[in-house]
C-alpha cells in the first residue's frame, strides 16, 4: 500500500444528511486543535495500527458517501526521502467505525424528523438545519474530561483549558506546516500531579477529578466495554459513581460518546438559553420548566438538545 490511501464511507439516510451543516458545527471554535475545517474539508489526525495518520474528509454526494484520504503523519518528509516510510498500513475498518461514530453517519434521522415535525419548536429547527448529524466525541476519555473542563465556566475559557491540555500532553505532528494533535491518553494524565494542571489554570478540584478519572480508566475501573454492556440507566449510574461526574456530565457523555438517544443534559445552560430564545420567554426557564418543556422528547432527547444548541450560533 502506498503512503496514501482512500476510504469511502457510506452515509445512512443520505437524503437527510448535510456535510455543510456538520462543518458549521465542527468549525465553531477558533481554539479547536484536534481537527481543522478548510474549503469543505476536515483534517484530523488519529492513531491507526500504532501509527499516527492524517485523515482528510470531504463530501462525495454523488455516491452518498464521505471520501477519506488517509496518509502517514509519522513525519512530514516526501516519499522516498531518508527516514520516510515507503508503505502505509492502516486499519480501514477502524477508520470507517471511527468516522461513522464521530459524525453519526449510520443514523436514520427519519424517526426524529417525523417527531420534530409535530413540535412547534423542533419543527422549525429541523427545517432550518436539515441534515445536521449529532456530531459526537470519538473517545471516551475525551468526552469525560471535556465534560469536567466545561463545568461552571464560560465555553470560551473551557476551550482555552482544553487547548492547553491537548497541546501539553497529546501526540503532536507537523504536517504541511500545520500543527496536528491526538487527544492525550489516560495513562499520560494518570501519571501527573494536580499541580501540573493547576498551573494551567485548572481549578484544584478539576485537576483532581481529571487525574483520578485517568487513573480509574488506566486501572480498568471505567472502560468502553463496561458501558457497552449497560443500558442507559446502568451507564448513567456507573458514571456518576466517579468523582467529578454528575447528572449533567453523565448525560453529556452518554449523548456525545455512547449515543444513548434518550440522554438529556437537563441542567445544561445552553439548552436553557436556546429554549428561552425559541419560546420567546422573558427569562431563562427554571429547571422545573425545562423538565416540563422536554418531558415528551423521550428517545429523541439527544437530537432535540443538539438541534437547540445549534440554534445558538
Catalogue the active-site residues: 268
Quote the DSSP letter at residue 174.
E
**Cβ atoms of 240 and 258 closer than 8 Å:** no
**Cβ atoms of 131 and 14 closer than 8 Å:** no
Quote the DSSP letter at residue 182.
E
Handedness of CA 289, 293, 297, 302 (dihedral sign): negative
C-alpha to C-alpha distance for 197 and 207, rounded to whole angstroms: 6
CA distances from 28 to 33, 112, 117, 282 (A): 12, 24, 27, 27
Question: Which residues 6+ apart lie within 8 Å of 32 measured at CB?
Answer: 26, 159, 163
Three-class secondary structure assignment of 236-275: HHHHHCCCCCCHHHHHHHHHHCCCCCCCCCCCCHHHHHHH
Place of cell 459513581: 241
C-alpha to C-alpha distance for 251 and 69, rounded to whole angstroms: 33
List the strands of the sheet with 51-60, edge to edge: 4-10, 65-72, 51-60, 41-48, 35-38
For residue 114, how many other CB atoms are within 10 A of its CB? 11
Amino acid at each position: 500500500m502506498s503512503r496514501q490511501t482512500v476510504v469511502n464511507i457510506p452515509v445512512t439516510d443520505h437524503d437527510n444528511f448535510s456535510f455543510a451543516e456538520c462543518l458549521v458545527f465542527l468549525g465553531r471554535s477558533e481554539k479547536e486543535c484536534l481537527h481543522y475545517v478548510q474549503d469543505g474539508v476536515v483534517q484530523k489526525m488519529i492513531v491507526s495500527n500504532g501509527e499516527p495518520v492524517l485523515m482528510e474528509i470531504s463530501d462525495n454526494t454523488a455516491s452518498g458517501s464521505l471520501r477519506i484520504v488517509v496518509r502517514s503523519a509519522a513525519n512530514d518528509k516526501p516519499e522516498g526521502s531518508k527516514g520516510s516510510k515507503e508503505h502505509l498500513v492502516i486499519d480501514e475498518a477502524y477508520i470507517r467505525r471511527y468516522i461513522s461514530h464521530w459524525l453519526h453517519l449510520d443514523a436514520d434521522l427519519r424517526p426524529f424528523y417525523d417527531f420534530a415535525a409535530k413540535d412547534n419548536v423542533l419543527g422549525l429547527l429541523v427545517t432550518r438545519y436539515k441534515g445536521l448529524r449529532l456530531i459526537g466525541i470519538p473517545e471516551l476519555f475525551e468526552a469525560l474530561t471535556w465534560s469536567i473542563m466545561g463545568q461552571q465556566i464560560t465555553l470560551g475559557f473551557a476551550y482555552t483549558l482544553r487547548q492547553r491540555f491537548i497541546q501539553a500532553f497529546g501526540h503532536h505532528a507537523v504536517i504541511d506546516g500545520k500543527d496536528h494533535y491526538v487527544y492525550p491518553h489516560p495513562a499520560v494524565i494518570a501519571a501527573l500531579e494536580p499541580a501540573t494542571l493547576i498551573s494551567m489554570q485548572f481549578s484544584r478540584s478539576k485537576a483532581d477529578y481529571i487525574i483520578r478519572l485517568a487513573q480509574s480508566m488506566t486501572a480498568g475501573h471505567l472502560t468502553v466495554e463496561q458501558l457497552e454492556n449497560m443500558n442507559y440507566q446502568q451507564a448513567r449510574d456507573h458514571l456518576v459513581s466517579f468523582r467529578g461526574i454528575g447528572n449533567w456530565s453523565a448525560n453529556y457523555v452518554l449523548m456525545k460518546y455512547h449515543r444513548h438517544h434518550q440522554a438529556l443534559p437537563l441542567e445544561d445552560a445552553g439548552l436553557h438559553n436556546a429554549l428561552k430564545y425559541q419560546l420567546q420567554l422573558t427569562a431563562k426557564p427554571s429547571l422545573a420548566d425545562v423538565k416540563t418543556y422536554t418531558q415528551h422528547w423521550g428517545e429523541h432527547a439527544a437530537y432535540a438538545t443538539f438541534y437547540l444548541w445549534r440554534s445558538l450560533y
